[in-house]
Chain A
Amino acid sequence: MMDFINFHLMPGVILGSIYALGAIGISLTFGILRFANFAHGETMTLGAYFAFTLVQLTGWHPLAVLPFAMILTAAVALGVDRVFYKPFRAAPAIMVVIASFGMMLMIRSVIQFSWGVQLKSLVPGIQRPYILFDALRISPKHMLIVGSALGLMLAVHLLLSRTKIGKAMRAMSDSPELARLTGIDTEMVIRATWVLGAGLAAAAGVFLAIDTHVETMMGFKLLLPVFAAAILGGIGRPYGAMAGGLIIGIAEELSSYAWLGDGPLLAPGYKAGVAFALMIAMLIWRPSGLFRGKVF
């Protein structure tokens, strides 16, 4: 039983929190700007590298530099939107999707060029887990990741439900055309979406880096499960993205638990497949996702 919690459920919650943060940005960009942003994974990577450099410069804890890494990443996203995506506003979605694919490769190349391709550690050394109640093992960094991720999700909830710009983001995600006809400043909402999405992506990247390490493909490896999470929750539904992220993360980790007999149900190598099996099942059973999002 404790093995189940320590080695499957907890890692699932940690991974799920990281997916959830990434998926909010994917879902909102999809809902508001109407395209699947392939560069979102690279945005996560960029956040992790910004944090790496800030830690090198200041010697602070990664969590202390996180806000600055988020701001830097958001600033890059705003700049990219201004010069790169803005001219595509009226273009068909498929053109923007392909453009974002190009942006993905460009950001990755810039990262590889600037920081090199070797693995780097954000937090040096090995941390011993706390042992709670003689059995529950949880390492400080994991408590930090889950705690901060939940804190960020709460902040997103307050932003979306209490502030004018947050409500306008939900409104525009419902219907960009009606938002315009209502007099909502849609360019402002788009900028807010980039800031929020990129900031959370940076946080997801930093948390993944704290959990594992910093490398140039880290965000890309997250991209597909994060897409699956966004689709599972419903496109344009930030709460769906949070739920979808947690479900995908937990399902991936639980799939390798010894549900039947002694061995793992699925070899850990098939984890990524679990995310897609869930996504495909959802697309067949309920294409609008758990939270009734958009269907394109």
Chain B
Amino acid sequence: MAVLELENITGGYGETEILHGVSLKVEAGEVVVIIGPNGAGKSTAMKAVFGLLRLSSGRVLLDGADITSMATEQVVRHGVCYVPQTANIFPSLTVEENLEMGAYVRKDDYRPRMNEIYDLFPPLAEKRRQSAGTLSGGQRQMVAMGKALMLDPKILLVDEPTAGLSPKFRGEIFKVVQDINGAGVPILMVEQNAKQALSIANRGYVLVDGRNRIDDSGPGLLANREVAEMFLGGGTNGNGTGSGAGGTNGT
């Protein structure tokens, strides 16, 4: 049974329909990546899990139980944690307070978990008393993920964690994602840097115009010619579709 499953989700915001029957699932221990062009509904699909969308049909299942349109707070209480792309930390709170808020629904002692998070992200341990808004982009992303991990989530949803980060930090973030997954947390991630993301993914989904276009394993998608043309900067064996492999702009 899948940890998280979206079944034929149709819906959007207000009158605008963005998703037209999207289905995807994440099995235990997997890293699953959603890629697709802008406006394909990648982030929207994630928000559907948290009851942030008006759904006209479809179901969201967590460990087989129906959580469709459950209130956001309740979804989190059930162990689904979400790291939005932007505004994913509380900037006026300190790093430590951010982590405490991540543990808000926990009734037990969250200190041991907080120490594990600090072990996972050593830069945060140094800056625990600093307000999170003063950190660098990469460190903010660590706070955001650390905050989400405070609950020992059943599954972590991450929306474009590397957006706006330099290539060096990008590598670090993907490493962090792998570490988190290595600790047994399944991950569903939306990502623009398709090549890097697919290389750490077990499986991937390509969404186009709010519909599933291609579903395959990570390596399978990396080798897929259509995916290569759409997202990976030109096909490997260009079949005469204009620009040559080298891409020397006509002079």
In the complex the two chains form, is B77's CB within 8 Å of A175's CB?
A: no
In the complex the two chains form, is A171's CB within 8 Å of B101's CB?
A: yes
Query: A178-B87, A181-B72, A182-B147 in contact; A170/B93 too (CB < 8 A)?
Result: yes
Distance between Cα atoms of A174 and B102 in the complex (Å) = 14
In the complex the two chains form, is A183's CB within 8 Å of B151's CB?
A: yes
Q: Which residues of B contact A184 (CB under 8 A)?
A: 73, 101, 104
User: What 0/1 readout, one digit per residue, does chain A (150-193) give for beta carbons within 8 Å of chain B?
Assistant: 00000000000000100110110111011111111110000000
Shortest beta-carbon distance, B249 to chain A, in Å? 43
In the complex the two chains form, is B104's CB within 8 Å of A174's CB?
A: no
In the complex the two chains form, is B72's CB within 8 Å of A174's CB?
A: no
Q: Which residues of B contact A183 (CB under 8 A)?
A: 73, 76-77, 104-105, 151
Task: Tell me the residues in window 82-113 of chain B with beta carbons closer than 8 Å to chain A beta carbons.
Answer: 82, 84, 87-93, 97, 100-102, 104-105
In the complex, residue of chain B having the shortest beta-carbon distance to the beta carbon of A181: B82
In the complex, residue of chain A having the shortest beta-carbon distance to the beta carbon of B106: A183
Q: Which residues of B contact A168 (CB under 8 A)?
A: 101, 104
Q: Which residues of A contact B92 (CB under 8 A)?
A: 170, 173-174, 237, 292
Task: Tell me the residues in window 144-162 of chain B with beta carbons closer than 8 Å to chain A beta carbons.
Answer: 147, 151
Measured as residues with beta carbon below 8 angstroms from the partner, the interface class of chain A is 20 to 34
Tell me the count of chain B residues lying within 8 A, CB to CB, of chain A. 22
Main secondary structure of the interface of B (DSSP, over half): loop
Shortest beta-carbon distance, B190 to chain A, in Å? 15
In the complex, residue of chain A having the shortest beta-carbon distance to the beta carbon of B101: A171
Interface centre among A164, A167, A168, A178 (most CB of B within 10 A): A178
Q: Which residues of B contact A182 (CB under 8 A)?
A: 76, 101-102, 104, 147
In the complex, residue of chain A having the shortest beta-carbon distance to the beta carbon of B104: A184
Q: Which residues of A contact B151 (CB under 8 A)?
A: 183
Q: Which residues of A contact B76 (CB under 8 A)?
A: 181-183
Distance between Cα atoms of A177 and B93 in the complex (Å) = 16
Q: Is B205's CB within 8 Å of the partner chain A?
A: no
Given contacts A167-B93, A170-B90, A180-B73, 15 further A-B contacts (CB under 8 A): A164-B100, A167-B97, A170-B92, A171-B93, A174-B92, A175-B90, A177-B87, A179-B90, A181-B72, A181-B76, A183-B76, A183-B77, A183-B105, A185-B73, A237-B92
| Chain B positions near chain A (C-beta within 8 angstroms) | 50, 72-73, 76-77, 82, 84, 87-93, 97, 100-102, 104-105, 147, 151
18 contacts across the A-B interface (CB closer than 8 A): A164-B100, A167-B93, A167-B101, A168-B104, A170-B97, A171-B90, A171-B97, A171-B101, A173-B92, A174-B92, A174-B93, A175-B87, A177-B87, A178-B88, A181-B50, A182-B76, A182-B104, A185-B73
Nearest 8 A/B pairs, CB to CB: A183-B76, A174-B90, A183-B105, A171-B90, A180-B72, A184-B104, A171-B101, A181-B82
